[in-house]
Structure 1
């Protein structure tokens, strides 16, 4: 009986690490030495054009948190509450501008040469920030699909994301397309803002680096407003133009450009009213205010933490990485992967299909993967992000 109690205690250990902030976690050294050389040796037998969704990284290349946690952090880990402002705007254009600023805040700097864990099937992550309650679940493993549902009944906003990340090795770069849609609903006004995610580009040559690139469209059918944003990285040789963003807000009915957007998502982003002849410029996003020096979440209710929680599932691996005890981290990760394979074998032997606990999952060739929550609202979480 005592052994079982020890196993339960060990299983419920929660390891929470600092969120990815404006500093890109540069103050914490998780990386092994000679990281670029190790990356090339790791990819030596991978052909250009190959998908990397089934590619398993050793702990040397991991940061101590899963992709599920990173998705969640982009929503709840913020110093300045920008989400509630999306519902507070008096006019439709005010609300669209607020949604754009919030959308930019979900983009975070990443470190070259390391990546989060690939979440295991059924893994969850649940955190509250004030009245905002966020729940994520890994609803598919092959292919990897992550679902997010967040509700803030006080501020009348709801989020629903369904992400299917597809990384491809292209020789000098690794490009990850984040398929699936993000929807922000302003419940009081019954407005739905549907958007996609930028692509993640990892440059190996000639200058290593990680960048967010590509086009993002934010559309609200109820108001007829549409925003088109373009994230741009640096040049091939790593000079100039890095982390820039440009865009515009369009009236879909007339196709007139109402506002122009320009700036850098890791500094500040400004907007200009095209009808204003004085050319007045307004700051709609300040990265330093929003995502600099972010605090770490803490456990308020240890008994309420689920065994499927990311910070529990990966606790032993994370401890090994943080202490740079690579052998222990590798053993813990191998044990976790073996356990998942055994669970898969058991389901196959019984003819059972795994079903997500918190989301309905569907797929169509036209629209790809889609998720819908099984519950209308998310309850307060046992893990809290301090505000």
Structure 2
């Protein structure tokens, strides 16, 4: 349950999504399926939901920026450090696969985070890892993430464009864009994508990560192919949250390791030559007993920080003050609409503060950080 939270002046920080998060959230609406379907009664199947606004009754008390960031800075086991500790390219690659899987966090049926407003940021530090996120586009929604650890020569850059579509009995949210991880000490660059989120209303309500993920590192001629699976259509959960895949040599397509397991339990790699198996991801160590971030420096908070932008709305949701939450959310969204109209009247184009945004038909959206290193943040993850 997401019951732990820290409320500072104008800022609310809640505990991250973890294996303890479940369908029994205290603030979640009753009769969820009926209520949700009533929201979509006038939405045609196949419609893009990027501009669809949920009432606070169906919101988590946090922004999508915070959810993305939590998957990186809220960890029980430091999987990112294991990527650097590998003694060989193959060991490091296997560790990167494990780290990528560890960023998968449970989605909860019936509730979703706030859609970030344009220019919203989320800045958090965990030890020497400093993380900055920014909503660099609103229509379409594009989120950028930059994280650096100068002591370990690690850098990761994410650029996500989520497109949710309604299909009558389900919603499919595809996460377009790339995640890049650079291990500067080894001159290794890893590029990967993310699974998509499938929300089913019938026959059994569920929210699961599904689809194919590819991880590549050209410098060491290796790649991984992963397949995320949810429960069967009839709700049988034998393969729920399962992962299967392999690590291959890119130039020859030769399989080196086979991958199997469940991202919410353990994932193993098996050496095809000698049959030896190794655990590369243990969910009990990496995504359980996670604590809410803490506000270390209130004076360092920006007005566009997620915890501030949505602070009043989040506090009202946690207290089940639904009318207050609705009013506070309307204030945030109307302010955004006013600023957009003002820019349009002046013929101005909004420019991100922390990233340079680009687009091509071949590659889609891409983001380049303006700073080499992310500075320490006023919010810290324990």
TM-score (norm 1): 0.95
| Distance in 1 between residues matched to 2:118 and 2:80, nearest whole Å | 29
Shift of 1:30: 2.2
Which residue does 1:246 correspond to in 2? 244
RMSD: 1.2
For residues 158-216 of structure 1, what are the alpha-carbon distances to aligned partners after superposition, in whole Å with 9 as ceiling and x for unaligned?
Answer: 00000000001111110010000000000111111000000100011100000000000
Within a 5 Å distance, the mapping from 1:60-71 to structure 2 comes to 60-71=57-68
| Distance in 2 between residues matched to 1:354 and 1:120, nearest whole Å | 12
Q: Give 5+ residue unaligned stretches, structure 1.
A: 1-9
| Distance in 2 between residues matched to 1:40 and 1:349, nearest whole Å | 37
Which residue does 1:5 correspond to in 2? none
Which residue does 1:273 correspond to in 2? 271
Higher alpha-carbon deviation: 210-219 or 16-25 = 16-25
Contact 1:164–1:180, Cα closer than 8 Å, also in 2: yes
Within a 5 Å distance, the mapping from 1:145-160 to structure 2 comes to 145-160=142-157
Which residue does 2:196 correspond to in 1? 199
What secondary structure, in the 3-state scheme, does the structure 2 residue paired with 1:222 have?
helix
Contact 1:21–1:294, Cα closer than 8 Å, also in 2: yes
Contact 1:12–1:307, Cα closer than 8 Å, also in 2: no
Q: 1:190 to 1:12 in 2, by over 3 A?
A: farther
| Distance in 2 between residues matched to 1:250 and 1:74, nearest whole Å | 26
| Distance in 2 between residues matched to 1:230 and 1:23, nearest whole Å | 24
What secondary structure, in the 3-state scheme, does the structure 2 residue paired with 1:83 have?
helix
Tell whether 2:353 aligns with 1:360: no
What secondary structure, in the 3-state scheme, does the structure 2 residue paired with 1:78 have?
coil
Q: Give 5+ residue unaligned stretches, structure 2.
A: 1-6
What secondary structure, in the 3-state scheme, does the structure 1 residue paired with 2:65 have?
helix
TM-score (norm 2): 0.96
Which residue does 1:213 correspond to in 2? 210
Which residue does 1:320 correspond to in 2? 316
Superposition misfits of 4+ residues, deviation over 3 angstroms: 25-28
Shift of 1:26: 5.0
Shift of 1:347: 1.1
Within a 5 Å distance, the mapping from 1:230-245 to structure 2 comes to 230-239=227-236, 240-245=238-243
Within a 5 Å distance, the mapping from 1:11-90 to structure 2 comes to 13-26=10-23, 28-90=25-87
| Distance in 2 between residues matched to 1:146 and 1:295, nearest whole Å | 24
| Distance in 2 between residues matched to 1:217 and 1:298, nearest whole Å | 34
Which residue does 1:4 correspond to in 2? none
**Pairs aligned (count):** 375
| Distance in 1 between residues matched to 2:358 and 2:91, nearest whole Å | 34
Contact 2:13–2:307, Cα closer than 8 Å, also in 1: yes
Match of 2:301 among 302, 305, 330: 305
| Distance in 2 between residues matched to 1:29 and 1:293, nearest whole Å | 18
Match of 1:263 among 261, 265, 287: 261
